[in-house]
Structure 1
Amino acid sequence: MTILTRRTTLQLLGGGAAAAAIGNPLGAASATELGLAGPPAPPTLYLSHMVTQPEITAMADTVKFQQWRSPDMLTAMMSNGQVQVAATPSNTAAILYNKGVKIKLLDITTWGVLHLITRRDDIKGLPDLKGKTLMSFFRGGMPDIVTRYLAGKQGLDFDKDVDVSYASTPMEGLQMFLAGKAETIILPEPAVTAAMLKSKIVGQPLNTFSLQDVWTEVTGGTRMPQAGTLVQSEWADKNPEKLAQIKASIASSVDWMNNEKDACAALGAKEFGLPMPIVRKSLDKVHMERVSAAEAREELEFFFTALSELSPKLIGGKLPDAGFYLD
């Protein structure tokens, strides 16, 4: 696939037109390059699959997918125009929007993939973490926030009662857990399944429970709108037909994840660096369903209000207004 350089563009377009195009980097990027990004977790798979679809590759001369490794990395990608479409924790999207970054939430696709895993027999729920150590990942990000909120609702003063350390990414956390550097850890799929299977092989059975189940117990909410897709608002406004295709392609790729799990596992093995059978088994435990942001607004506001009990900063200071939610 061809990447147009500045010199090539000038030669092809001619002086005046080319200069105008080069003088507007955002416009030029959106005309010739489409960037997609996702985290080292299940939402990456529908975006990674999308870049193989002719309807998406036809949108630009170059269509790129890459993984982001931290919320700060995602923020930089969206702010500098490197990426136009990204999978994101829902509260990260709210923070960006409330900070004035020109993004909108397109949908929610991922409804609870976080689990607590432990080698200890005396941890059956979050209250049992009192006086113990815990590893998580993305300090201050969605896994950390959700764990702190739920633990607080169950009587823990997280900062005082739990000794918490952090890995940079879930895959780093998985490796540290398997190496015996942590007894108890918060992980998403497919890292959860990898930990369970690899520990079983060496004769170290683990205890685990889903934070989605704890969320339901604590809040009465039926599901946790954990992650979805955001879009750069200027790109979306300038490209309504392409935006419509992005929506359709997300829906079809999520359906592909749910219905073509063997093929999805092969892609996941490549993206996550895990054996295909592990990724395949993990897909049976992941709830993927595309719901437009506008349709999910009530559930999102319930979720955001809960998180803001810890600190309003966790959603950017306030509930996002109606302009945040795309149909």
Structure 2
Amino acid sequence: MNRTRMSALLLALALLTGLLAGCAPQNADPTSTPSAAPVIESAQPSAEPTVSADRPAVNLAMLSGPTGMGAAKLMADNTDGLTLNDYTVTVAAQPTDLTGKLTSGELDIAALPTNVAATLYNKTNGAIQMLALNTLGVLYILENGDSIQSIADLAGKTVYATGQGANPEYVLNYLLRANGLEPGVDVTIEWKATGEEVSALMLSGDADVAMLPVPAATSVLMQSSDIRAAIDLNDAWTQTGAEGTMTMGCVVVRTEFAQENPQAVENFLEEYADSIAYVRDNPDEAAALVVEAGIVPKEPIAKAAIPQANLVCITGSDMLSIQEYYQVLWDADPSSIGGSIPDDAFYYMP
């Protein structure tokens, strides 16, 4: 064999060896455990796990808007095959798109407004449990003008809003009554199906006052210099002397799934906590992931909204802090949380 053919053969063997090494499977690390702290404090997520092909399957659903934003990093990692669980992910616009699928078993874990979670728990005799609180207050009163400085200034106004039958309606009703105003009598409330409808009315000038959550409120403020954030409802809540913290979003799990798949639930809590920490602490990078996930439509809006979204990850016994908020909702309207304040079995505490 001449020197040229021998060199070519050696080169081919070297390339084949490199290819085989590059395709060799990586060892999984199944020993990871959930973070001990229930509230996320770390600025960066933990190192990306190495996973095997045998990952627990989880049907996961998030809502567009603030309650879904914290899952964006988890969703991106799942697409890349880097999560401990193998998630099939749904992003829905309304909680009603998810509640039936939870009770039927089509979904295992889902984000919901906290009042919807309590209602579903009560109506299904404990078929779901709360895994984590993920979003504090994100509601704002927006005004085309400068006449509103407090909730009391809403007297005689028409407020356009979205969120009827969920936290926004009950929070607004509570705050109005705490300020001596009766909803529908002293203040007219026009409920719309989506934030897009309310936003369009504000931007066209057909509405002067609106209540919107982040990121819809963020988008409106970015598009019009004539519209201002008149009231942060977190501040209004505190000013009324209401007990507890306005806590609007959470993640729930089917009780049966949690009992049969405790490792998958632990995996989710670890990965979700890391995801929320990443999104909250890296808004520039996370904004692109939020848009890719279909949670917010535009990257500049996502980037501006992340710091306003009050993202948290509160788990374990610390979730009991929401009971004071539930008490306020129950006092205002027992049906807002399904007729009763959930008992301790509602909270996932293995």
User: Smaller-chain TM-score range?
Assistant: 0.7 to 0.9
Match of 2:324 in 1: 302
TM-score (norm 2): 0.77
How far does the alpha carbon of each residue in 1:202-233 deviate from its partner, in whole angstroms, 9 at most, with x for none? Answer: xx242422101111111254632221111111
Q: 1:188 to 1:278 in 2, by over 3 A?
A: same
2:131 is matched by which residue type in structure 1? L
How far does the alpha carbon of each residue in 1:86-137 deviate from its partner, in whole angstroms, 9 at most, with x for none? Answer: 1111111110001116100011111111111111321112111111111111
How far does the alpha carbon of each residue in 1:30-72 deviate from its partner, in whole angstroms, 9 at most, with x for none? Answer: x985322222212212234323335775534xx3222222232
In structure 2, which of residues 298, 303, 307 is the aligned counterpart of residue 275 of structure 1? 298
Q: Is the CA contact 2:140–2:229 (under 8 Å) kept in the aligned structure 1?
A: no
Q: Is the CA contact 2:329–2:336 (under 8 Å) kept in the aligned structure 1?
A: yes
Q: Distance in 2 between matches of 1:277 and 1:151?
A: 33
Q: Is the CA contact 1:71–1:138 (under 8 Å) kept in the aligned structure 2?
A: no
**Which is further off, 172-181 or 102-111?**
172-181
Match of 2:6 in 1: none
Matches within 5 A, 1:1-327: 33-54=57-78, 59-60=85-86, 63-100=87-124, 102-200=127-225, 204-221=226-243, 223-270=245-292, 271-297=294-320, 299-327=321-349
Match of 2:22 in 1: none
Q: 1:134 to 1:247 in 2, by over 3 A?
A: same
1:321 is matched by which residue type in structure 2? D
Q: 1:308 to 1:50 in 2, by over 3 A?
A: same
Q: Which structure: greater helix fraction?
A: 1
Match of 2:40 in 1: none
Q: Give the match's secondary structure for 1:281.
A: helix
Match of 2:30 in 1: none
Q: Distance in 2 between matches of 1:126 and 1:191?
A: 20
1:135 is matched by which residue type in structure 2? Y
Q: Is the CA contact 2:287–2:299 (under 8 Å) kept in the aligned structure 1?
A: yes
**Which is further off, 49-58 or 216-225?**
49-58
**Which is further off, 66-75 or 152-161?**
66-75
2:312 is matched by which residue type in structure 1? E
Gaps of 5+ in 2: 1-54
Q: Is the CA contact 1:35–1:65 (under 8 Å) kept in the aligned structure 2?
A: yes
1:289 is matched by which residue type in structure 2? V
Q: Is the CA contact 2:72–2:290 (under 8 Å) kept in the aligned structure 1?
A: no
Q: Give the match's secondary structure for 1:53.
A: helix
Q: Distance in 1 between matches of 2:223 and 2:297?
A: 11
How far does the alpha carbon of each residue in 1:139-173 deviate from its partner, in whole angstroms, 9 at most, with x for none? Answer: 12111111111111111111211111122122332
Q: Distance in 2 between matches of 1:107 and 1:309?
A: 24
Q: Distance in 2 between matches of 1:157 and 1:232?
A: 38
Q: Give the match's secondary structure for 2:224.
A: helix
Q: Is the CA contact 1:38–1:44 (under 8 Å) kept in the aligned structure 2?
A: yes
How far does the alpha carbon of each residue in 1:218-261 deviate from its partner, in whole angstroms, 9 at most, with x for none? Answer: 12546322211111111111101111011101110110111221
1:65 is matched by which residue type in structure 2? V
Q: Distance in 2 between matches of 1:111 and 1:284?
A: 12
Q: Is the CA contact 2:115–2:167 (under 8 Å) kept in the aligned structure 1?
A: yes
Q: Distance in 2 between matches of 1:290 and 1:108?
A: 6
Q: Distance in 1 between matches of 2:192 and 2:59?
A: 27
User: Percent of aligned positions with the same letter in both sequences?
Assistant: 27
**Which is further off, 74-83 or 172-181?**
172-181
Gaps of 5+ in 1: 1-30
Q: Give the match's secondary structure for 2:89.
A: strand
Q: Distance in 2 between matches of 1:36 and 1:77?
A: 11
2:313 is matched by which residue type in structure 1? R
2:63 is matched by which residue type in structure 1? P
Q: Give the match's secondary structure for 1:94.
A: helix
TM-score (norm 1): 0.83
Larger CA Rg, structure 1 vs 2: 2
Please report how far the alpha carbon of residue 319 of structure 1 lies from its aligned counterpart in structure 2 after TM superposition: 1.2
Aligned length: 291
